[in-house]
A and B are shown apart, each in its own frame.
Chain A
Amino acid sequence: MADNKIVEKIKSPLEEKIKISLVVNGQEKELLVNATMRLADILREELQLTGTKVSCEIGRCGACSVIMDGKLVNSCLVRAYQANQKEILTIEGLGMNGLHPIQKAFLEEGGFQCGYCTPGMIIAVKALFDQYANPTKEQILEGLSGNLCRCTGYGGIIRAIQKLTES
């Protein structure tokens, strides 16, 4: 089978562990992981931070969005070695001292339904507001265009953002 040949060429992922250190939600972490382990898996499996979701694994849906050194990234595309020495903010870090205003706005305006895109979406909104205090329509559309939501049709998400820009 063609499939088999490709697989044989792939090096076993069990090889080559490296030590990385990173700050996740303000806490320093030292880990011994495969150099190519995805940041999404490091968070979900090594650190039990399952708030960050995985849905497409190819950088197309944003369910795995986290903020790394101040920038919004898809954690399914970031490898362990790339996350080394970086500072990461995940959804679990956002509401540590009570609900963040973004979370409140999502609650009040129906910015979610099933909640699966929500951690990534809220993190993307956080990145948007970190960049622009008062984002324009274009900035909002651009900033969230990498985050898919199948449930809401984005109406509630936009209402939540509107509420935040008004306050």
Chain B
Amino acid sequence: MVNFSYSSNLQGSFERPDGVDKVTANLKFLTDLSFPNMLYGKILRSVYPHAKIISISAKNAEELPGVRAVITSKDVPGLNRFGLIFPDQPVLCEDRVRYVGDAVAAVAAETEEIAEKALQLIEVEYEPLPVIDDPEKALLPSAPQLHPDGNILHQASYQKGNVEEAFQTCDFIVEETYELPRQMHAYMETEGGVIVPEKDGRITVYAGTQHGYKDRFQLARILDIPESKIRVVSSPMGGSFGGKDELNIQPYGALLAIKTGCPVKIHQSRRESVRSGLKRHPMKITMKTGASRSGKILAHQVRIIADTGAYATLGPAVLDFAVEHAAGPYIIRNVHVEGVSVYTNNGVAGEFRGFGGNQVTFALEGQMDRLAAKLGICPMELRKRNLRKADDPGPVGQEIAPTDGAAQVLKAISQSLLLNNKEKREESTSQWKKTGIGVAIAMHGGGLGFGRLDPAGGRISLNEEGKIEISFGFEEFGQGLLSVIEQLAIKEIGCSSNDIKITIGDTDCVPSSGSSTASRGTSMVWHALQRMKGPFKKRLLEKASQCTGVPVDQLYLGPSGIWSCESKTEPLITYQQIAYETKDDPIQIETEFHFPTTPHSIPGGHYLYSFAACAARVEVDVLTGIVRVKNLEQSVAAGPVIYPTGYLGQIEGGSVMALGYTLLEEALMEKGKYVTENFDSYLIPTINDIPLSMNITAIEDLYEGDEYGPRGVGEIGTVAVAPAIVKAIYDAIGLWVTKLPVSREEIVKAVNQREMKEWLTTKL
């Protein structure tokens, strides 16, 4: 038998509504679509990371047979900018390029080959400018200014108590600088889709995104047409992880489709995707943390510098999130956090699963482990002594929904198989392989936070065919949102899965629900159904009562229709019959509300949090420096589980993505140009890189009186993994790693140093 061991306490799953279509490939992704008379679009991106554009000549390209349109900045009728927080990124650059992904022109042609060829015929004359390839260089007074307001995108800080004074009283202080890499989302489906001009003068944008309505808003501004003229079909997608939240190919496809009057398909190659796509913010984080002899942390000082690349997108919010989570689940009396997000000529960094939490938690948990080692206290015990209590305020002093999650996950992980030696371990196979164990925890806010527009909403109706139609403006990119909607609807309404029709990701037929980001989808579906189920059921029951003469209090909603307490084998009246009876006045309930936020005015401050603890066991080959994660366990506290397979998949998938972040992945740039351009040099975990043993524990209990239901788990599984692995490496070979991805050379070098050999001998 195969010796893998993947276990969890999650049981009793259901097939996903989109499951059969996915395993048979009947499901059409938006990049699989084609339309009559469809043209192919290609985008010309900058050759230089920073340059002036002297001239652009498209003449030769336009004359190439088969080319139907070439566009440059002059062809943008509206605002030639986009950006989720504020629009600073040119759709098509006018006179200056600021990174190698900047678009200069785009082409529509009869075939992809002709479009490709045409790109090469566009003559762009550049005058290269000095390249800022490092955020610290960008802050020097002599640095060229990348934007009108300089090179600082955003600054954020948090302060309480007085760290300087508090450090004087500390018995032990640890100070360290951590460096986090530029990680690529590496969704398997690269950005793409088709934009179709419709007969009625509107356009339909079939392209993946995490917020269809937001795309519509941004596109209307670019195209200078009313939003009502645009339909955005944004689902399904072959993965996103935050990376498709911002506009990508949509503006080019739309401009070309309008200009040619034909549907235009753009599907970026992987190289184009690497070059133009968002990445996780590289950050350099310096932390100074001091504690008393007894293990009470007294002061915590943090400095964050984030490389946001050429444009803003969600950069400010990512920094706010990192600042907010810099003290994580620990109660520390004196804290000072300062963060700065800086423009450079590197790739644009933006929204990515974990949203700044991964970077800062890596540093914070690293501090905890270093302090514990200095103090000679068990690292779990040190965490426990400083851990938040259920009704403590949030990490920036704000009021939050009381939660015991931090203690719950810490307790669960301390009882894990791995930490209790119950897990059957393969012992090291050679004296050159050392094993070690590490543990880390994480706290993660859900929703966009205080002061951000974070509306949600949904609709439930009985449609003409007698289906209970549930509509949300969310997108399905793999996370299992459809299953969540289906399972919640069955539970809250009482009908069966056959009675339900789910509509998502199409601005023409769904209400606005906000973005499918920030671990908010599951949470918002639950909240919406809580609001809508009462009125919806009431109207159905009243109608059923009216039709059948049976009093409302003897009726209930069940599979296929309304049942009476007496009906045993079939409903008294079917949903179809009620739909027929209400065809002149269809039953429809809508709701609109806001994601729950803290009442305290802290920009981006969160109200709902989830927690995770991770234990990892590694084997380090001291000759080659190769680190293998042998076992990985996570316990997660995020409220009730709605769709167990999806939950498990999010945590397992998140764990492996984070393993890649720790050991393999870096979108390397040199002088503003990508060195890693595809999966031959940008390595994501293969099946050969994953732990052969994983155990996931979901903790479903919410704190007494908590009325906020399930929290999303899209991000939390990615946060605690890196610090756990790095601590395990320390445990194995005595090396404190401060820079990700873990360098093999660094390990080999460290092991060859005298101290390390001694350390190893004492350990043997």
On A, residues with C-beta under 8 Å from B are 1, 3-4, 7-8, 12-14, 44, 50-53, 55-58, 60-61, 63, 91-92, 94-95, 99, 103, 106-119, 122, 135-137, 140-141, 144-159, 161-162, 165-166
Tell me how far the C-beta of B148 lies from the nearest C-beta in chain A, rounded to whole angstroms: 30
Given contacts A50-B28, A155-B648, contact A148 B679 (CB under 8 A): yes
Query: Which residues of the other chain, B, contact A8 by a CB distance below 8 angstroms?
Result: 120
Mask, B62-96, CB within 8 Å of A = 1, is: 00000000000000000000000000000000000
Among A8, A116, A147, A148, the one with the most B-chain Cβ atoms within 10 Å of its Cβ is A116
Tell me how far the C-beta of B113 lies from the nearest C-beta in chain A, rounded to whole angstroms: 5
Query: Which residues of the other chain, A, contact B687 by a CB distance below 8 angstroms?
Result: 140-141, 144-145, 147, 149, 154, 157-158
B1 engages A165 (CB within 8 Å): yes
B649 engages A95 (CB within 8 Å): no
B238 engages A116 (CB within 8 Å): yes
B678 at interface by CB-CB < 8 Å: yes
B189 engages A55 (CB within 8 Å): yes
Across the two chains, which residue of chain B brings its CB closest to A96?
B24
Stretch at the interface among B11-19, B492-500, B520-528, B543-551: B11-19
Q: How far is the CA of A158 from the CA of B687 in the complex (A)?
A: 9
B24 engages A110 (CB within 8 Å): no
Q: How far is the CA of A161 from the CA of B646 in the complex (A)?
A: 18
Number of chain B residues close to chain A: CB under 8 A: 65
Query: Which residues of the other chain, A, contact B680 by a CB distance below 8 angstroms?
Result: 56, 58, 60
Q: How far is the CA of A20 from the CA of B195 in the complex (A)?
A: 33
Mask, B31-73, CB within 8 Å of A = 1, is: 0100000000000000100000000000000000000000000
Query: Which residues of the other chain, B, contact A106 by a CB distance below 8 angstroms?
Result: 23
Query: Which residues of the other chain, A, contact B47 by a CB distance below 8 angstroms?
Result: 1, 3
Chain A to chain B contacts (Cβ below 8 Å), 16 pairs: A44-B32, A57-B678, A106-B23, A107-B15, A107-B16, A108-B15, A112-B23, A113-B646, A114-B236, A116-B238, A118-B22, A145-B687, A152-B649, A153-B685, A154-B685, A155-B653
Query: Which residues of the other chain, A, contact B120 by a CB distance below 8 angstroms?
Result: 3-4, 7-8
A119 engages B25 (CB within 8 Å): yes
Q: How far is the CA of A122 from the CA of B655 in the complex (A)?
A: 23
A114 engages B2 (CB within 8 Å): no
Query: Which residues of the other chain, A, contact B655 by a CB distance below 8 angstroms?
Result: 153
Query: Which residues of the other chain, B, contact A56 by a CB distance below 8 angstroms?
Result: 270, 678-680
B29 at interface by CB-CB < 8 Å: yes
A61 engages B188 (CB within 8 Å): yes
Across the two chains, which residue of chain B brings its CB closest to A154?
B687
B28 engages A148 (CB within 8 Å): no
Mask, B90-134, CB within 8 Å of A = 1, is: 000000000000000000000101100100100000000000000
Query: Which residues of the other chain, B, contact A95 by a CB distance below 8 angstroms?
Result: 23-24
Across the two chains, which residue of chain B brings its CB closest to A162?
B2
B694 at interface by CB-CB < 8 Å: yes
Among B4, B24, B236, B646, the one with the most A-chain Cβ atoms within 10 Å of its Cβ is B24
B239 engages A154 (CB within 8 Å): no
Of the candidates A12, A141, A159, which one forms a contact with B117 in the assembled complex, judged by CB atoms under 8 Å apart? Answer: A12
Interface of B is mostly: loop
Interface of A is mostly: loop
Tell me how far the C-beta of B332 lies from the nearest C-beta in chain A, rounded to whole angstroms: 33
A152 engages B653 (CB within 8 Å): yes
B580 at interface by CB-CB < 8 Å: no
Across the two chains, which residue of chain B brings its CB closest to A5?
B120
A150 engages B239 (CB within 8 Å): yes
Q: How far is the CA of A166 from the CA of B690 in the complex (A)?
A: 22
A53 engages B189 (CB within 8 Å): yes
B657 at interface by CB-CB < 8 Å: yes
Q: How far is the CA of A156 from the CA of B653 in the complex (A)?
A: 9
Q: Which 3 A-B pairs have the closest CB atoms?
A: A114-B478, A116-B238, A51-B25
A150 engages B188 (CB within 8 Å): yes
Given contacts A91-B24, A115-B22, contact A155 B649 (CB under 8 A): yes
Given contacts A50-B32, A55-B189, A151-B649, contact A7 B117 (CB under 8 A): yes
Given contacts A115-B27, A122-B23, contact A53 B649 (CB under 8 A): no
A58 engages B237 (CB within 8 Å): no
Query: Which residues of the other chain, B, contact A51 by a CB distance below 8 angstroms?
Result: 24-26
Query: Which residues of the other chain, A, contact B653 by a CB distance below 8 angstroms?
Result: 113, 150-153, 155
Across the two chains, which residue of chain B brings its CB closest to A139?
B2
B645 engages A150 (CB within 8 Å): no
A113 engages B186 (CB within 8 Å): no
Q: How far is the CA of A119 from the CA of B28 in the complex (A)?
A: 12
A154 engages B189 (CB within 8 Å): no
B142 at interface by CB-CB < 8 Å: no
Given contacts A55-B190, A110-B649, A116-B238, contact A140 B2 (CB under 8 A): yes
Across the two chains, which residue of chain B brings its CB closest to A48?
B34
A155 engages B24 (CB within 8 Å): no
A116 engages B646 (CB within 8 Å): no
Given contacts A3-B47, A116-B189, A148-B686, contact A153 B25 (CB under 8 A): no
A114 engages B652 (CB within 8 Å): no
B627 at interface by CB-CB < 8 Å: no
Q: How far is the CA of A84 from the CA of B632 in the complex (A)?
A: 47
B649 engages A156 (CB within 8 Å): yes
Query: Which residues of the other chain, A, contact B648 by a CB distance below 8 angstroms?
Result: 110, 155-156
B656 at interface by CB-CB < 8 Å: yes
A110 engages B645 (CB within 8 Å): yes
B113 engages A114 (CB within 8 Å): no
Tell me how far the C-beta of A65 lies from the nearest C-beta in chain B, rounded to whole angstroms: 12
In the complex, besides A60-B678, A99-B20, A157-B687, 8 extra interface pairs with C-beta distance below 8 angstroms are A57-B270, A107-B16, A114-B187, A114-B188, A115-B478, A145-B687, A152-B656, A154-B685
B32 engages A117 (CB within 8 Å): no
Query: Which residues of the other chain, B, contact A113 by a CB distance below 8 angstroms?
Result: 239, 478-480, 646, 649, 653
A153 engages B2 (CB within 8 Å): no
Across the two chains, which residue of chain B brings its CB closest to A123?
B25
Query: Which residues of the other chain, B, contact A112 by a CB distance below 8 angstroms?
Result: 19, 22-23, 478
B678 engages A115 (CB within 8 Å): no
B649 engages A57 (CB within 8 Å): no
B684 at interface by CB-CB < 8 Å: yes
Of the candidates A63, A122, A156, which one forms a contact with B652 in the assembled complex, judged by CB atoms under 8 Å apart? Answer: A156
Q: How far is the CA of A51 from the CA of B31 in the complex (A)?
A: 11
B29 engages A116 (CB within 8 Å): yes
Tell me how far the C-beta of B708 lies from the nearest C-beta in chain A, rounded to whole angstroms: 25
Query: Which residues of the other chain, B, contact A137 by a CB distance below 8 angstroms?
Result: 2-4, 692
A151 engages B478 (CB within 8 Å): yes
B237 engages A114 (CB within 8 Å): yes
B690 engages A153 (CB within 8 Å): yes
Q: How far is the CA of A136 from the CA of B328 in the complex (A)?
A: 43
Q: How far is the CA of A91 from the CA of B21 in the complex (A)?
A: 11
Query: Which residues of the other chain, B, contact A158 by a CB distance below 8 angstroms?
Result: 2, 4, 6, 687
Q: How far is the CA of A93 from the CA of B3 in the complex (A)?
A: 31
Query: Which residues of the other chain, A, contact B688 by a CB distance below 8 angstroms?
Result: 141, 145
Among B21, B239, B655, the one with the most A-chain Cβ atoms within 10 Å of its Cβ is B239
Q: How far is the CA of A162 from the CA of B4 in the complex (A)?
A: 9
Given contacts A14-B113, A55-B190, A153-B653, contact A99 B23 (CB under 8 A): yes
Query: Which residues of the other chain, B, contact A151 by a CB distance below 8 angstroms?
Result: 188, 239, 478, 649, 653
Of the candidates B25, B28, B32, which one forms a contact with A118 in the assembled complex, judged by CB atoms under 8 Å apart? Answer: B25
Tell me how far the C-beta of B477 lies from the nearest C-beta in chain A, rounded to whole angstroms: 6
Query: Which residues of the other chain, B, contact A147 by a CB distance below 8 angstroms?
Result: 686-687
Across the two chains, which residue of chain B brings its CB closest to A104?
B23
A155 engages B694 (CB within 8 Å): yes
B605 at interface by CB-CB < 8 Å: no
Among A12, A106, A113, A158, the one with the most B-chain Cβ atoms within 10 Å of its Cβ is A113
Query: Which residues of the other chain, B, contact A52 by a CB distance below 8 angstroms?
Result: 25
B654 at interface by CB-CB < 8 Å: yes
Q: How far is the CA of A112 from the CA of B20 in the complex (A)?
A: 11
B269 at interface by CB-CB < 8 Å: yes
Of the candidates A92, A110, A145, A148, which one forms a contact with B188 in the assembled complex, judged by CB atoms under 8 Å apart? Answer: A148
Among A13, A56, A157, the one with the most B-chain Cβ atoms within 10 Å of its Cβ is A56
Query: Which residues of the other chain, A, contact B20 by a CB distance below 8 angstroms?
Result: 99, 107
Across the two chains, which residue of chain B brings its CB closest to A52?
B25
Q: How far is the CA of A50 from the CA of B238 in the complex (A)?
A: 13
